[in-house]
Structure 1
Amino acid sequence: MRERIIKAAVACDYAGLQKLGDEKGPSVRFSYDPDQDMTTTWRIQEEWKDSPQPVLARLVHVLNLPFYQEGNLYWWPTAFREGATDADFALLKGIYPDSMIDDMRKEKSYIGMRVGISVDGDWQAAIQGD
């Protein structure tokens, strides 16, 4: 599933991403408007006139970082886990501004894109923010 998400995100294939998210039922949790599907929200964020957000690029970058397992889920990145280390936060360089990484490290709270995929390959979460 991880590789399929990366492939669709690199191709900016919003329909493909939505299909992957709904593959085993509409189960992907994501941030923002609960009445709007995930990929419509991401397209809007990517196209914001004043402050476009590189959502798909961040998704790809995060999924290329180390992961950890919590229960039945694999989570990316390791900066999201409890007890994340400075090394975990250092891996975020180039994905987020240095000042944002420093703030997250100081607060010991990762608020960037985090992705959860179950051990059986069901894409469960793609969450940004707190």
Structure 2
Amino acid sequence: MRRRIVAAAVACDYAALAALGDEQGKSLRFSFGPDEDLALFWRKAEQEQGQPVLARLVKILNLPYTKQGELYVWPTAFRDNATAQDFDALEGILPDAQLQAMKRERSYYGLRVGISGNGDWQMAVSGD
């Protein structure tokens, strides 16, 4: 699933990403707001707000993961007791000021991705 998400994101294929998110049921959490269409939500974030969602998704999924129960979660900075090295891995992915604030607080609230062991993409959400 990770490789398929990366391929769809590199191709900027919002429809494929939405299909991957719904592949095993409508369980993908991608925002804390009202229910929206994944493709529309991310397209608006990229085109109207200038957020590099898909590029960031690819970069995050190319980092090491951590496990939380049965869920594989990227990046490792999201885990409890994340190390400075976990945060350092995010240099160039997140704005420096944002990354430094998270590092000081030892709390990661950037984009995190979760995929279950059976390949169900369950989360791609930012925020706290």
In structure 2, the gaps of 5 or more residues are none
Residue 47 of structure 1 is matched in structure 2 by 47
Aligned residues: 128
- What is the deviation of 1:35? 2.5
1:90 equivalenced with 2:88 (yes/no): yes
- 1:44-79 per-residue CA deviation (whole Å, 9 max, x = no partner) reads 00011xx40000000000000000111110000000
Residue 54 of structure 2 is matched in structure 1 by 56
Percent of aligned pairs with the same amino acid: 59
In structure 1, the gaps of 5 or more residues are none
- What is the deviation of 1:98? 1.4
Instruction: Tell me the TM-score normalised to structure 1 length.
Output: 0.95
**RMSD over aligned Cα atoms:** 0.9
Misfit runs of 4+, over 2 Å: 32-35
SS at match of 1:26: coil
- What is the deviation of 1:32? 4.2
SS at match of 1:52: coil
1:108 equivalenced with 2:88 (yes/no): no
Instruction: Tell me the TM-score normalised to structure 2 length.
Output: 0.97
* Structural mapping, 1:24-35, within 5 Å: 24-35=24-35
